[in-house]
Amino acid sequence: MNEEYPNYNAYLSKLREEFPQFRIRPKRGDRLSTWIDRALKLVTLGRQDRYLTEYHTVLGETLWVPDAWARLGDLERVVLLRHERIHLLQRRRWGSVGMALLYLLPLLPVGLAYGRARLEWEAYEETLRATAELLGREAARSPALRRQIVGRFTGPDYGWMWPFEGQVERWYSAALARVESSLGPADSHEQRTLDSGWS
């Protein structure tokens, strides 16, 4: 294990206790990832062109990581894994076929993907929680983070999955309020990293 990432290493070990088959693989050079990248460029008319470079994707129990993975710091990797753990739990709850149907069908694969939005709302609330706990409340309140996450729902990154900015903004405000109200006294980053997110 890389000693530069002690919190990430500890969280990854605990995640693998919960999901023993979990593994991390690079998208670059993978045939399926290359095919998905081309398909996304096609259906979004070239607007989603960062699948291989910036977007992390869980398929089954494998996290496929983009080029940007190498640039993430220790706690940033933990925040990301906490988001992806929600998708692993969703897959356990719904099954692989159920997850695929929820992600792609209701209501439309592009433009009105309500099922996808509901799955991502749950995961991005955990992103906010992890950010607040590990990087601080101010980081979770960051306007840049808000723009980024809201844009994931309303823009081409996820195929305009829920392009109703006002509704997404209201969800974001409510999610952030829930996160802040749940935060207790500040603990050490290490304790938060290992213990938060597990129920």
What are the mean pLDDT values of the chain's consecutive 10-residue runs (199 residues total)? 88 98 98 96 94 96 97 98 98 93 82 93 98 97 98 95 97 97 65 54
Domain that holds residue 130: 6-195
Q: In total, how many domains does the chain have?
A: 1
Would 46 be classed as within a structural domain? yes
Q: Environment class of residue 155 by beta-carbon count within 10 Å: exposed (0-12), middle (13-18) or buried (19+)?
A: middle
Q: Which two tokens stand for residue 71?
A: 């640039």
Beta strand extents in the chain (DSSP E only): 23-26, 57-59, 62-65
| Residue 1 counted as domain residue | no
Residue 181, CA distances (Å) to 71, 88, 146, 174 in order: 32, 26, 18, 11
What's the count of helices (H) and strands (E) in the chain, helices before strands?
8, 3
pTM score, two decimals?
Answer: 0.90
Q: Would residue 63 count as lying in a domain? A: yes
Residue 112 near residue 167 (C-beta atoms within 8 A) = no
Asked whether the CA dihedral 67, 70, 73, 79 is positive or negative, the reply is positive
